[in-house]
Amino acid sequence: MTTVPFFRNSTTWQRVRDGVEADIARSVDKGLAVDGILVREVEEELTRRLGCAGVRLTASGSDALLVLLKQRGIGPGDEVIVPAYTFFASVAAIAHVGARPVIVDILPDRYTICPDAVRAAVTERTKAVVAVHLFTTMADMESLAALSADHGLLLIEDSAQGIGMSQRGRLAGTAARGGVFSFFPAKTVGALGDAGAVIATDERQLAEFDEILGRGEGTEPTYGCDEIQAAVVRACLPLLDEFKDKRRKLFAYYDERLRSIDGVRRLPSLGPENVGYVYVGEFDRRDELQAHLRTHGITTEIFYPLPLSRQACLADVADCTKPVPVAEEASTRVLALPLYSDLLEEEAAYVCDIVSDFYCRA
Ligand SMILES: Cc1ncc(COP(=O)(O)O)c(C=O)c1O
């Protein structure tokens, strides 16, 4: 039976393997370390690409968020407004620094935080808003920046999914004061395990990141990235444009094939500033479709199965009282299809055949 995994990176690995192995040997010669020579080289390259004050690699995107929230002085007594529809880490990081997440609804069609819902949730304890860039698109940074300025709030970018995305010419991660990347393997640029980055938009912020990361003389490093993951990110970064193009072509192919199927609702197609990080559609009888795809060897994911305000573990630490009808509806209908730069066109064609088959037989 044909199988299409949700993610695979074996072809990319074969391409970069020699360079990665040579880099790891070079690092071992210097004394392999967390925050070693390869980490520093990736930081320099990312700083150059982003045109920012500096970048620090971290052990994961989740750790990068923690470093950013700490640097921005968020802690106990603060409320932080965050979307109901995002990866758990966006909310966990807020709770981890001792602040209270206030979970609000998202915009239909783009799945990012709804500025009106943010405005309605502001209290005298609100300290910050987390703008999460999701799937293909950055959050509406212009509206969020305006309302943050009106209410004196910090605007934090959770750009873990956002490498390569931009809005009005500003790259994800540099559109507020500080952002993050995740290099989890399935990301547009992925390591072989966990890795992340925190992005500084000015020198003072960079110095404060270094303090939190224990980068100074005689301090103990924490949240740092290891050299093996840095070697893979170093090899894959130059391929970012190629990865984006490949994802864009596959995205367009899915769009074209699925557009005409009754029962499938697609997000807007990719504009030049979007990146096809995840291909998400809304599907009638989603769970049945997922099972049908599974029996045909195709793995899919539900991003995300519950609005975060309905996660039991957050009941005591977050404000889960706001209505989130858009997130509720999305969580019952969304399905992410396989989309990655190693995916073959014939595999995408097979996925579309099986989706069509499901709805035609209904
Ligand atoms: C929106 C968002 N924030 C944070 C993270 C955390 O990144 P990591 O998995 O590298 O810890 C992710 C990872 O998928 C994410 O999608």
Q: Which atom number of ligand 1 is nearest to the Cα of residue 195?
A: 10
pLDDT at 216: 81
Confidence of residue 309 (pLDDT cuts 50, 70, 90): very high
Residues 6+ apart with CB under 8 A from 190: 9, 183, 184, 232, 236
Alpha carbon of 273 to ligand 1 centroid (Å) = 21
For 271-282, what is the mean pLDDT? 96
Q: Which atom number of ligand 1 is nearest to the Cα of residue 196?
A: 10
Each residue's pLDDT tens digit, 2-52: 999 999 999 999 999 999 999 999 999 998 677 899 999 999 999 999 999
Q: Which atom number of ligand 1 is nearest to the Cα of residue 89?
A: 4
pLDDT at 362: 65
All structural domains of the chain, each given as residue ranges with its CATH number in brackets, are 10-238 (3.40.640.10), 239-360 (3.90.1150.10)
Alpha carbon of 223 to ligand 1 centroid (Å) = 15
Alpha carbon of 93 to ligand 1 centroid (Å) = 10
Least confident range of 184-188, 264-268, 284-288? 264-268
Nearest to 138 by CA among 278, 334, 275: 275
Q: Which atom number of ligand 1 is nearest to the Cα of residue 90?
A: 3
Q: What stretch of H or E contains 103?
A: strand 100-104
Nearest to 188 by CA among 167, 162, 170, 225: 162
Each residue's pLDDT tens digit, 205-239: 999 999 999 998 888 889 999 999 999 999 999 99
Least confident range of 32-36, 134-138, 348-352? 32-36
User: Which of 133, 138, 163, 182 maximizes ligand 1 atoms within 8 Å of its Cβ, making it the mutation to test the pocket?
Assistant: 182
Alpha carbon of 136 to ligand 1 centroid (Å) = 14
Alpha carbon of 62 to ligand 1 centroid (Å) = 6
Confidence of residue 136 (pLDDT cuts 50, 70, 90): very high
Residues 6+ apart with CB under 8 A from 36: 27, 30, 227, 230
